[in-house]
Amino acid sequence: MKLSLTDKFLWDLYVVLEKTGDITAFILNPHSSKWNSLWQLNNPVFEKYKHDKNRAKFSKLIYYLKRNNYIKVASLNNVRGVVLTKEGLGKILKASFKIEKKNKRKDGKWVMLIFDIPQKYKKSRELLRGVLHNLGYKLLQQSVWVTPYDVSEKTEKLLQFYSLDNFVKLFLIEEM
């Protein structure tokens, strides 16, 4: 599946972060000295887009990403650089759902997810539904979703990332 330029750029940025070190450590402490090479705007991931696209389009892309709070451009030790925000990481995760192949569980079991998110967290509930849909879950009943795919580990990570794990129960079921 083809990704939009925004998704592709953020995905490439994520891949660079993954190769450089722990992505979680970067998000929690983007100003650490071990990330200085990433901070510099002459980083290879940025050079690729500057080279492929003209400078005006690259500037528009950076502006769009900043305006939508996917990245922040800041200075560290008088060097301009880019910080990936939580929203940016969320966008990357959604893009990863599009390009990753979904494999059915080898044991034939299904993953069932049941949630009860209070009304005051309505946006979180809508976010969860979108994430579940992207992971290949299907709605069985209201607040009950199932999938034959092996995504339970990824589901748990996303629930923790979005702080929804207290409202959700995951089950492994034999039959549907």
Tell the burial category of 49 from Cβ atoms under 10 Å away from its Cβ (0-12, 13-18, 19+).
middle
Q: Where are the beta strands (DSSP E) in 32-164?
A: 71-76, 79-84, 110-115, 138-141, 144-147
**CATH code of 153's domain:** 3.30.70.240
Record the pTM.
Answer: 0.55
pLDDT at 28 over 50: no
Q: Verify that 62 and 110 share a domain, yes or no.
A: no
Could you report the per-residue pLDDT of 121-176, keeping only the tens digit for each? 888 888 888 888 888 899 999 899 999 998 888 888 888 888 888 999 999 998 87
| Mean pLDDT of the 112-116 span | 94
96, 124, 152 - which closes a domain: 96
Q: Verify that 149 and 79 share a domain, yes or no.
A: no
Residues 6+ apart with CB under 8 A from 48: 12
Structural domain of 133: 102-173
Tokens of 138: 């299907």
User: Between residues 110 and 4, which one has the greater pLDDT?
Assistant: 110
Q: Verify that 10 and 91 share a domain, yes or no.
A: yes
Question: What is the domain count for the chain?
Answer: 2
Q: Verify that 92 and 126 share a domain, yes or no.
A: no
Cβ atoms of 168 and 157 within 8 Å: the answer is no
Distance CA 83, CA 26 (A): 9
Could you report the per-residue pLDDT of 57-84, keeping only the tens digit for each? 777 777 888 888 888 877 666 766 677 7
Q: Verify that 107 and 81 share a domain, yes or no.
A: no
**CATH code of 47's domain:** 1.10.10
Q: Verify that 90 and 106 share a domain, yes or no.
A: no
Q: Verify that 90 and 12 share a domain, yes or no.
A: yes
